[in-house]
Chain A
Amino acid sequence: MSRPMGRPSQSSIRYSGPPMPAETITLDVFRFQPDGDGKTTFQKYDVPYHEHWVVLDALNWIKDEVDGTLTYRWSCRMGVCGSCGMMVDGVPKLSCAAFLKDYYPRAIRIEPLTYFTVERDLMIDQEGFLGKLKSIKPWLIRDDDQTPDGGEYLQTPDQLASYKQYSMCINCLLCYAACPVVGAEEDFIGPAAIALAQRYNLDSRDQGAAQRADALGAEEGVWGCTFVGECSEVCPKNVDPAGAIQRAKVDSVKTWYKKLLMPWGGS
């Protein structure tokens, strides 16, 4: 993991198109070019201020009108895809849900999600997270091989309610950027992956809890979490990964004791 190379420098690019509206807001945007000298900078952009605009609208305006080299991820623009997460004034947020009016007239500092390797500007490398996600097997695991012809796996509303909250995760990674353990321990599986493991473990149709137990019960699994709780605070979908991790800890202890007291079949 590379480390920052001194204090980021400041520079600015000016807009030279049609006259700007009377009200503008300044975005102080983190820049990093992997092909350059490795130095990070902050670039100031004056952007038209509209009350209904979100940070993503402002970034799109910059890219279209001022600086086409600015790089960031986005897709749905409505808080569903989870791809436009970034640090907005130091807080992990979906840029499509962060309104300019909540910051105006102050300048807004925009940075990539913390603790992730930056590919370019505001775009982070998600490979590490995807590996962690795969390690907890986030899919329905069955002991039998029932085909669709065999019918549906029926579920009561209560059974659905037991895991539904955790199934709302959109993998936006805001929880990782809010978690200091992710910053301190590179191998920590992290809030979203553990919440998703819990989502499948609690699903009445799933029979794979034992297969996920090793990854979850490891030091870099649930026991790495110190219950800071900020992952739940920044979650745009109210998934409450902090709660999921603590419940997974309780389940992990129960599994351990069952194995200890009933080695013939306590798993």
Chain B
Amino acid sequence: MKRRYCTPLGPTWFLGRAGYRRFMAREATAFAMAAFLVYLLFLLRGLGRGYHDYLEIIELTKNPIAVFVLSLIFGAVLYHSFTWFNLTPKIMPMYVAEEKVPDFWAAILMGYLPWAAVTAVVLWGVLWWSG
């Protein structure tokens, strides 16, 4: 009888190559992104309920463990965002006068620059509003 063999995809396949590990880190940090958004929603809800409720949440997150966990989550959120900014030119290559813009500059123009601009506008708005 003629037999066949096929290399299986093992449960730890993602440990096999650096590229696989980077991919899993990018995908896993999506959970941190979700956790961060939930935290922001709680903050917004607190704001909606009034200054007192908002301060209560801030007080809750002032202890060292909460600061440590939130810092980890924020770091993971930044990693997730930056890895996707860096991949954007692969998904949507940028052309100027029919010349392809190098991926490095395309990532800056399509990802980092708009992000920095929106952050600056939001910061300016918050500072202006708070007097």
Contact = CB atoms under 8 A, between A and B. Distances in A.
B131 interface: no
A38 B23 contact: no
A246 B90 contact: yes
Contact of A38 (B3, B13, B93): B3
Interface string A4-30: 100000000000000000000000000
Contacts of B91: 243, 246-247, 249-250
B2 A115 contact: no
Interface residues of A, number: 38
B8 interface: yes
Interface in B7-41: 7-9, 13-14, 16-17, 19-20, 23, 27
The 5 closest A-B CB pairs, nearest first, are A183-B9, A38-B3, A246-B91, A114-B7, A243-B90
Max chain B CB contacts within 10 Å: which of A125, A158, A178, A243? A243
A265 B125 CA distance: 45
Nearest to A242: B90
Nearest to B98: A158
A180 B12 CA distance: 11
Interface residues of B, number: 22
Given A183-B13, A229-B19, A246-B91, A34 B6 contact: no
Nearest to B103: A243
B9 A34 contact: no
Contacts, number: 81
A3 B5 CA distance: 6
Given A228-B20, A246-B90, A115 B9 contact: yes
A118 B2 contact: no
Contacts of A229: 19, 23, 87, 90
Given A158-B98, A180-B14, A180-B20, A227 B8 contact: no
A2 B90 contact: no
Interface string A95-133: 000000000000000011011111000000100000000
